[in-house]
Structure 1
């Protein structure tokens, strides 16, 4: 399936839109958040501090009367420069382009699976700035196999999981972690769609370099095709 056809497939998965957070929330409860290098207001924020970035995001939600801030797909960000896990001396190979959709909401918020699937893998990715607790689900729908990744979860989210365990659309699969367990970020869900897992287990790149952007943008299409926020 071509990247264009896969994107169209995702767009047509459901009407109404799918969700991974509390289903009672409406679109008006969400506000877009720009964390890109072009956002001048971030120049006044120490984005290396999870506490100061969390305050910035909190104020953004309050001023827009929102419960959730969302965004980030293919966004070039400076917030990864604090971590040697992402930063390199070569701008072409530095991983700073975000491949998923971030949903910024309070720690302990429940996370739901948007589709039927099975647990492909899970892992605590403990690098500084990494996902922390991560769950990957495998979906087979209308003969199409693909994966969804849920990052920055609480410790308890992976305690009793089993590979191959079935999940049904709307099942709560996790809760969000705080900065002490989620890679040192303000609480949020990193949600990513992956067409080819490339033999990764419990992990998959959520940030890529400019030189790898074409491959990853084709393999990881925009999650908002499913959510239509």
Structure 2
């Protein structure tokens, strides 16, 4: 565990819910969208409606409200998107954050104090759509959190340096037409070095670069502690 991951682990002992504070952590349900989930073999989850239907079924089966997961998950979700499957570059299909799948319009909650680093509407199909990046300092370590697939209204009134406290509402989730062809969800990622990026950072990588990204983007659940007793 690197120094940042150790700081994140020590930040809080209890679960941090990153969406609507009225939704109990008991209603968060683990979701497997990996290539190893045989339930997906006959489904085209690149179709957001098919993906949504599958997620709805998982939630209904155990009366959940938010489905979450996906850190370092190898997925077929991006196989129809040119930016992930180009013949020029290695196939990118390993997810670097946690996704939280729930209704469009759901509030996104800031997990720890921070300030706006940058924001952008990334409109390419398969990208994040409206995106916000916060800058944080914890135990004298500077790092960043990225929030993707937001409603476009979430970018209104923002400016670089605007501060947010833990528990503040940062944004709301966008619809498929706004979050560029995905079922509604939040992509949440922790990043140690943004490598000069603003309002964007890779959320999916190729296996050839996994060792770097695994170190630069630690497991968000080290901070959030979902499912940890």
TM-score (norm 1): 0.95
Q: 1:142 aligns with which of 120, 139, 144?
A: 139
Give how far 1:193 is off.
0.2
- The alignment partner of 2:210 has SS state of helix
Mapping of 1:158-197 within 5 angstroms?
158-197=155-194
Cα deviations by residue, 1:138-170 (Å, 9 ceiling, x for unpaired) = 001221100000000001000221111111111
Match of 1:120 in 2: 117
1:17 shift after superposition: 2.5
After TM superposition, give the deviation of residue 14 of structure 1 in Å. Answer: 1.2
Q: Is the 8 A contact 2:15 2:25 kept in 1?
A: no
- 1:26-78, CA deviations, whole angstroms, 9 ceiling, x for partnerless residues? 33201111000011111121112111110110111001210010000000001
**Shift, 1:6, TM fit:** 1.9
Among candidates 38, 41, 44, match of residue 43 of structure 1: 41
Partners of 2:122 and 2:200 within 8 A in 1: yes
- After TM superposition, the score normalised by the length of structure 2 is 0.95
Q: Give deviations 1:104-123, integer Å, cap 9, x for gaps.
A: 01000000111111100000
- Find runs of 4+ consecutive structure 1 residues off by over 6 angstroms: none
Matched, 1:68 2:79: no
> Which of 8, 13, 16 is residue 15 of structure 1 equivalent to?
13
3-state SS in 2 of match to 1:163 = coil
Rounded to whole Å, the distance in 1 between the matches of 2:76 and 2:139 is 39
Q: Which residue of 2 aligns with 1:154?
A: 151
CA distance in 2, matches of 1:41, 1:111: 29
Per-residue deviation, 1:18: 2.1
8 Å Cα contact 2:151/2:171 also seen in 1: yes
User: Any unmatched runs of 5+ in structure 2?
Assistant: none
CA RMSD of aligned residues (A): 1.2
Q: How many residues align?
A: 226
Corresponding position of 2:29: 31
What is the DSSP-based 3-state SS (H/G/I as helix, E as strand, rest coil) of the residue aligned with 1:96? strand
Structure 1 spans left out of the alignment, 5+ residues: none
